[in-house]
Amino acid sequence: MSLLVIGSLALDTIETPFGKAERTLGGSATFISTSASYFTTPVRLVGIVGYDFPKEEIEFLKSKKIDISGLEISETKKTFHWHGKYDFDLNTRESLVTELNAFETFDPVISEKFKDSEYVCLGNLHPSLQKKVISQISKPKLVMCDTMNFWIEGAYNELLEILKHVNLLVINDSEARELTKEFNLVIAARKIMSLGPKILIIKKGEHGALLFTNDSIFSAPAYPLEEVFDPTGAGDTFAGGLMGWIAKTKDLSTDNLKLAVIYGSTMASLAVEKFSLDGIRNLTNDTIMKRFSEFKKLTFFKEQTL
Amino acid sequence: MSLLVIGSLALDTIETPFGKAERTLGGSATFISTSASYFTTPVRLVGIVGYDFPKEEIEFLKSKKIDISGLEISETKKTFHWHGKYDFDLNTRESLVTELNAFETFDPVISEKFKDSEYVCLGNLHPSLQKKVISQISKPKLVMCDTMNFWIEGAYNELLEILKHVNLLVINDSEARELTKEFNLVIAARKIMSLGPKILIIKKGEHGALLFTNDSIFSAPAYPLEEVFDPTGAGDTFAGGLMGWIAKTKDLSTDNLKLAVIYGSTMASLAVEKFSLDGIRNLTNDTIMKRFSEFKKLTFFKEQTL
């Protein structure tokens, strides 16, 4: 049940057509670990924040039974700060401010206690940092990795190197196309899987996600929401639900991976309904299962042959 | 079982990154009726072609048990001709030539024999022509209508008028957004359904389709193909499978509409694998059912609660 999550913790300022939230809790590791905490505890968090990181948010992470012994608190630097503004359709966003602060010198050292982690979530980081993390884990059963166009463009060779050690890559459709120079996602998927990951998930935003394994393709819908307030962290929340379910069940069969994708989608659909992390701060199992069952209604049909 | 299909019959020249087909069979009514013929016969076709329309294509339509008694053959004009060129990603296309020819003066008169049609497919035509057709059908059980951005922009009021008489509208996502000035598809859907259609299908191309009824939303995936050769007619093939299944089963329950959407998607996925109409010219029930079952594999998952 040992799930290790590494990534950024941030204080985000977010503007959407629906409002603005100032210096609110953000970062890939925050979303991943909070989302995963509904499936498996304690989630092991590795990251760095600054001296300005709110005490109550530390308490919040603890309340989710997240093990924060791997969370470094810088005494001299501030927390990573991102200020983004979303377009009217919420599909494109502009980064107005990116202040790395404490995150700039983040050097992930995995404690002895965490080295036996079985499931590893590498949040979006420079591939060389991701590699450094993997090399410290003694015997991972599954390494999941997220990345972004920034690394595809700026650290291509390092990304290819890390992919050799990754079992499950989560990437969005435009990144998959950029990485492979293939427009067709099925062909892009095959190319990516030849680089290392035996399991691949391509996220398509409002169009859901595709899961590729060696013997199948699974298509998960996105939940059709009338009001998406803030897409920030949706992908990380997805990854947290996905890996939380896998760590809980310890089952890497295709059938169970499909289920993990649905749980990831369930969590992401709950996250985007509110600003920042608010959509997944205080969920009950009932709320999660209710949304989960909506996913079933959304795609299941009664068979009848021609 | 009486399904009436009205729309264009054309000779298309199509260029895709994979090749070029010259003056090949096209048109909305052609794709709809051929696709529907696998589900219900005889499909009643109403349309117009020119003196140059190949005899063997007339024979082909007959071989599909399509009733072509409503097909007018102009002795003075040529067949509607469209020449389109697709972009490398097959998602955008440019119309190089559009010669209406015989289609320009198309004035659909429904014969006495066809007036009792129960299921009506209004292919993409000027809304005032679509209205003229409806007014001639005595007691339709379900009227399906397709439209396009051209009519949303150029015949908006006529389109609103026809929508009052339409039970099932099939429209693509960009058209739904343009028609309602709403980006969010769930909100756009509700607006469209307030204009008349009690059932709405929003097609999302490579991302599948959404079915909206008064009490549910259903999300059908697109079949993830490695090679899409020619997307021409995919939407019409979808509509043909959809309406063919509905006419065959005479069942307008939400459960059966979901199934109809899957059959429509099945047919569309077979159509785009080859140029022009070739993908659905000679299908067996086995081929259709094999693809249909792939759709089930694509979205079904085994449930397990948290």
Contact A46, A133 (CB under 8 A): yes
Q: List chain A domain ranges.
A: 3-299
> Does the pLDDT at position A201 exceed 90?
yes
Convert the pLDDT of each residue in A271-282 to its tens digit: 999 989 999 999
CB nearest to B259's CB, from A89, A221, A302: A302
* Residues sharing a CB contact under 8 Å with residue A181, sequence separation 6 or more, in sequence order: none
Whole-angstrom distance, CA of residue B128 vs CA of residue B287: 38
Convert the pLDDT of each residue in B215-254 to its tens digit: 899 999 999 998 888 899 999 999 999 999 999 999 999 9
Could you name the CATH architecture of A3-299? 3-Layer(aba) Sandwich (3.40)
Instruction: Check CB contact under 8 Å for B186 and A225.
Output: yes
* Residues sharing a CB contact under 8 Å with residue B46, sequence separation 6 or more, in sequence order: B4, B5, B6, B29, B70, B71, B108, B110, B114, B133
Whole-angstrom distance, CA of residue A124 vs CA of residue A29: 9
**pTM of the predicted model as reported, rounded to 2 decimal places:** 0.93
Residue of A nearest to B241 (CA): A306
Contact B177, A89 (CB under 8 A): no
Convert the pLDDT of each residue in A99-115 to its tens digit: 999 999 999 999 999 99
Sign of CA dihedral A247, A253, A254, A255: negative
Whole-angstrom distance, CA of residue A71 vs CA of residue B188: 45
> Does the pLDDT at position A19 exceed 90?
no
Query: Which class is B3-9+27-80+101-299 in CATH?
Result: alpha beta
Q: Which amino acid is at B83?
A: H
> Does the pLDDT at position B18 exceed 90?
no
What ipTM does this complex have? Answer: 0.90
* Residues sharing a CB contact under 8 Å with residue B284, sequence separation 6 or more, in sequence order: none
Q: Say if B89 is an interface residue toward chain A (CB within 8 Å).
A: yes
Q: Say if A47 is an interface residue toward chain B (CB within 8 Å).
A: no
Confidence of residue B93 (pLDDT cuts 50, 70, 90): confident
Q: Which amino acid is at A224?
A: P
Across chain A, how many H-helices and E-strands are there?
10, 13
Convert the pLDDT of each residue in B54-65 to its tens digit: 999 999 999 999
List chain A residues with CB under 8 Å of B283.
none
CB nearest to B217's CB, from A204, A224, A249: A224
List chain A residues with CB under 8 Å of B251.
none
> Does the pLDDT at position A227 exceed 90?
no
Helix H segments across chain B?
A: 28-36, 55-63, 127-136, 149-154, 156-163, 173-180, 185-193, 234-249, 254-271, 285-299
Whole-angstrom distance, CA of residue B29 vs CA of residue B35: 10
CB nearest to B226's CB, from A88, A184, A216: A184
Whole-angstrom distance, CA of residue B193 vs CA of residue A17: 25
Confidence of residue A90 (pLDDT cuts 50, 70, 90): confident
Instruction: Check CB contact under 8 Å for A258 and B185.
Output: no
Closest C-alpha among B241, B283, B247, B239 to residue B64 = B283
Confidence of residue A92 (pLDDT cuts 50, 70, 90): confident
Whole-angstrom distance, CA of residue B57 vs CA of residue A196: 50
Confidence of residue A80 (pLDDT cuts 50, 70, 90): very high
Beta strands in A187-262 (DSSP E): 199-203, 209-213, 216-220
List chain B residues with CB under 8 Å of A89.
183
From A108's Cα to the closest Cα of chain B, the distance in A is: 32
Query: What is the per-residue pLDDT for A87?
Result: 86
Q: Provide the mean pLDDT of chain A.
A: 95
> Does the pLDDT at position A126 exceed 90?
yes
Residue A15 forms beta bridges with which residues? Answer: A20, A85
Q: What are phi and psi of A166, to 5 degrees?
A: -100, 135
From B210's Cα to the closest Cα of chain A, the distance in A is: 9
Whole-angstrom distance, CA of residue A242 vs CA of residue B44: 50
Residue A73 in 3-state DSSP? strand
Whole-angstrom distance, CA of residue A211 vs CA of residue A185: 11
Residue B262 in 3-state DSSP? helix
